[in-house]
Amino acid sequence: MVRAIRGVLIECEPAIKSIIVHLDSANNDIIIEDLDETHLVVKENMVQVLKQKLDDRLKETYRPEEPLEDSE
Amino acid sequence: MSVAPQSYQLSDYLEKLPGTTFRKLYQQPSTAFAIFRRMLPPLAKVFVQALLYMPSPLLLSELDVWVRPEGKMHRDRALSILRSLHIIQITPPGRDKPQEIQLTTNFKNSLRLALEGGGTHNSFGVPSKLPVDPKIDIAHLDNYARKKWEDILHYVVNSVPVHGEGGGGGSGGGPKASVKELLLAGRLVERRPDTRGGVGITQAGFTFLLQEANAQVWTLLLLWLEAADHTKAAAGEHAKGPAMPDSIDMLSFLFMLASLELGRAYDTDALTETRRNMLPALVDFGLIYIPREDPRQYLPTRLATTLTSSASALRSVSSGFTAATANNPGDASSLGIAPEATSKGSIIIETNYRLYAYTSSPLQIAVLALFTQLNMRFAGMVTGRLTRDSIRRAIGFGITADQIIRYLASHAHEQMVRAAAATGRPVLPPTVVDQIRLWQLENERMRTMAGFLFKDFDSAEEYLSLSEYAEEIGVLVWKNDRKRMFFASKFEQLRDYLKSRKKAE
């Protein structure tokens, strides 16, 4: 029987996807379906949490420069 | 990585209504006419006009003859919209009978009535026979509507936590308590004890602020309709209350208001009791005006009469803000279909990301503070910078880079516009525009889209037919034939399609 499951489709780079999969592996409470290398379906109510976690994770490794420092 | 700002639109609301609701709605010629006018793409209008006076159903295959083969996608979209609005009926595909298409009865009859006139439906309002105070002219109405709407915008904007003394000091007492409740219920603002005024703006609130005025009005009205439904559902459990307005009647009343003439007085006695009960709320929104001396009359304002006109005829977000931020209270022309000339730009932005705005309007300063790091405030001018953090924060609120760029471009100081025109360059420095976009990309590590995953199909054939149908009506987002799964942005029509397919078998 065909099923329709409500969720949020996420499209991202494979690297980001692997972080999401890793975040999910703790409790398995985020991902509904792992579609392919660049697509995932996640629970609607977890999107904000996921973003926050992903942000935190990226902050650890990634810090771009301001393009122009101002002297005020 | 923001979620695409989800603004609540009329089409989304209508799509969720059941067919019986539409049958009731379409009993009113004004509703049928308004839906025809506002909600349909051009090809769909062509179809409706062609079918309107057709005595018998048309074979679907004959409709195909009207459309060039390369226009098939437009045809399918048009039919899909017409079907979701319950304007057309298409017989289900059967083995022995070809598919036929026709307009639904109520819609057809009402649209004919609307075009030909006649009937005693009073669907387009009853003009008041009483004399109208000559002081209440169109300028007066515009002024009044602007004031009301500005109060609402001020209320939302003032809930922004502004650094320093940027915001604050909105004019007057703000909107009525009922409107505030509505903004709270619609989560455009939320209760936050730590902010001034006790409420803070939400992401939806930011999106609301940057919408064009017409979309803003509809957002608020739809919240109102939903709130009424909740109240009715809560009350209806126990007793049949006296004349509780239901959202269907409210909606058709709004469509009727949209068909009225600006500057003309209409008779409140000709309204049903439920509709008369709606008038105070509409006054609070600034959609209608009721003279204090004579409550038997009501006059629609421009906010009401432009509800269903085409979007291009309406004031844009920029002139909307100009209207809301205009310091000259006599400048009534800044509301509605005002000439763009009234919107005088005030923002100068330099290639080093510094921004100067010649304004003292709290509303405009608060809007700027959404995406700018404001540093200094002088009499009649503020200065600041666009920084990675300030843009990031704005994007975190749900504002898009394009919204910011459009806002800056449409509010650019005439000096910038002149300099750009003289040298043949774009108004905003390209480095700044590109950098704003880059900052957004940096934040958008993933794109999100709400919808439905379809899986566990019984057969390859079932998968193929449904996914193809999803693609035809333009709701297919992702699919994988091998896994037999696809993701669609909407599911109502797919569900109906599955049902009718089961029946045909």
CB B85 within 8 A of CB B39: yes
State the ipTM, two decimals: 0.83
Question: Cα(B391)–Cα(A68) distance, rounded to whole angstroms?
Answer: 14
Q: Which chain B residue lies closest to A32 (C-alpha atoms)?
A: B453
- pLDDT value of position B90: 85
B442·A64 Cβ contact <8 A: yes
Residue A9 has its nearest CB partner, among B387, B455, B477, at B477
DSSP per position, B220-278 = HHHHHHHHHHHHHHHHHTT---TTPPPHHHHHHHHHHHHTSPTT--EEGGGS-HHHHHH
* pLDDT tens digits for range A2-55: 888 999 999 988 888 888 899 889 888 889 999 988 899 999 888 888 888 888
B446·A1 Cβ contact <8 A: no
- Judge residue B242's burial from the number of C-beta atoms within 10 Å of its C-beta, 0-12 exposed, 13-18 middle, 19 or more buried: exposed
Tracing tokens 């049949």 back to the chain, one arrives at B240
Question: Cα(B170)–Cα(B209) distance, rounded to whole angstroms?
Answer: 15
Question: Cα(B39)–Cα(B33) distance, rounded to whole angstroms?
Answer: 10
CB burial readout B466-505, b (16+ within 10 A) else e = bbebbbbbebbbbbeeeebbbbbebbebbeebbeeeeeee
- pLDDT value of position B330: 36
* B435 CB within 8 Å of a chain A CB: yes
A47·B451 Cβ contact <8 A: no
Question: Cα(A53)–Cα(A33) distance, rounded to whole angstroms?
Answer: 19
A47·B448 Cβ contact <8 A: yes
- pLDDT value of position B342: 37
Helix (H) or strand (E) holding A39: strand A39-42
CA B76 to chain centre: 24
- pLDDT value of position B325: 41
- pLDDT value of position B168: 40
Partners of residue B1 in chain A, C-beta under 8 Å: 51, 54-55
Partners of residue A8 in chain B, C-beta under 8 Å: 448-451
* Rg of chain B (C-alpha set): 25
CB burial readout B360-393, b (16+ within 10 A) else e = bbbbbbbbbbbbbbbeebeeeebbbbbbbebbee
B486 pairs with which residues across the strands?
Answer: B454, B479
Residue A47 has its nearest CB partner, among B3, B483, B498, at B3
Residue-range domains of chain B with CATH: 10-116 (1.10.10), 138-305 (no CATH), 344-443 (no CATH), 452-504 (3.30.70.2610)
Of residues B408 and A61, the one with the higher pLDDT is B408
* B375 CB within 8 Å of a chain A CB: yes
* B457 CB within 8 Å of a chain A CB: yes
* A65 CB within 8 Å of a chain B CB: no
Sequence length of chain B is 505
A64·B445 Cβ contact <8 A: no
Residue B453 has its nearest CB partner, among A1, A5, A58, at A5
| Half-sphere exposure at residue B427, Cβ-oriented, CA atoms within 13 angstroms | 17
A51·B1 Cβ contact <8 A: yes
Size of interface A-B (CB pairs under 8 A): 93
* B481 CB within 8 Å of a chain A CB: no
* A21 CB within 8 Å of a chain B CB: no
Question: Cα(B80)–Cα(B88) distance, rounded to whole angstroms?
Answer: 9
* Amino acid making up residue B13: Y
Partners of residue A44 in chain B, C-beta under 8 Å: 450
Question: Cα(B369)–Cα(B152) distance, rounded to whole angstroms?
Answer: 19
* B442 CB within 8 Å of a chain A CB: yes
A2·B455 Cβ contact <8 A: yes
Residue A66 has its nearest CB partner, among B387, B442, B487, at B387
Partners of residue B353 in chain A, C-beta under 8 Å: 68, 70
Locate B413 and state its tokens: 């100081």
- pLDDT value of position B164: 37
Sequence length of chain A is 72
The closest of B490, B6, B3, B9 to B223, measured between CA atoms, is B9
| Half-sphere exposure at residue A68, Cβ-oriented, CA atoms within 13 angstroms | 14
* Amino acid making up residue A52: Q
Helix (H) or strand (E) holding B487: strand B485-488
The closest of B394, B388, B434 to A70, measured between CA atoms, is B388
CB B295 within 8 A of CB B268: yes
Query: B394: which residues sit within 8 A by CB, 6+ positions away?
Result: B206, B370, B371, B404
* A37 CB within 8 Å of a chain B CB: no
Q: What is the mean pLDDT of each run of 10 residues along chain B (505 residues)?
A: 46 81 87 85 89 88 84 85 88 78 90 80 73 78 84 74 40 69 81 66 72 78 83 61 65 86 84 84 88 83 77 38 40 36 71 90 80 90 92 79 84 88 88 91 80 90 89 88 90 84 74
For B307-465, list the strands marked E by DSSP: 347-349, 354-357, 373-378, 381-385, 446-455
Partners of residue A6 in chain B, C-beta under 8 Å: 450-452
* A19 CB within 8 Å of a chain B CB: no
B478·A35 Cβ contact <8 A: yes
Residue-range domains of chain A with CATH: 8-60 (3.30.70.1220)
Q: Which chain B residue lies closest to A40 (C-alpha atoms)?
A: B448
SS3 at position B97? coil
Interstrand relation of B347-349 and B354-357 (parallel, antiparallel or unpaired): antiparallel
A9·B442 Cβ contact <8 A: no
Residue B487 has its nearest CB partner, among A9, A12, A64, at A9
A54·B1 Cβ contact <8 A: yes
Residue B353 has its nearest CB partner, among A2, A7, A68, at A68
- pLDDT value of position B311: 42
The closest of B216, B189, B210, B200 to B400, measured between CA atoms, is B210
* pLDDT tens digits for range B310-332: 443 334 333 444 444 443 333 33
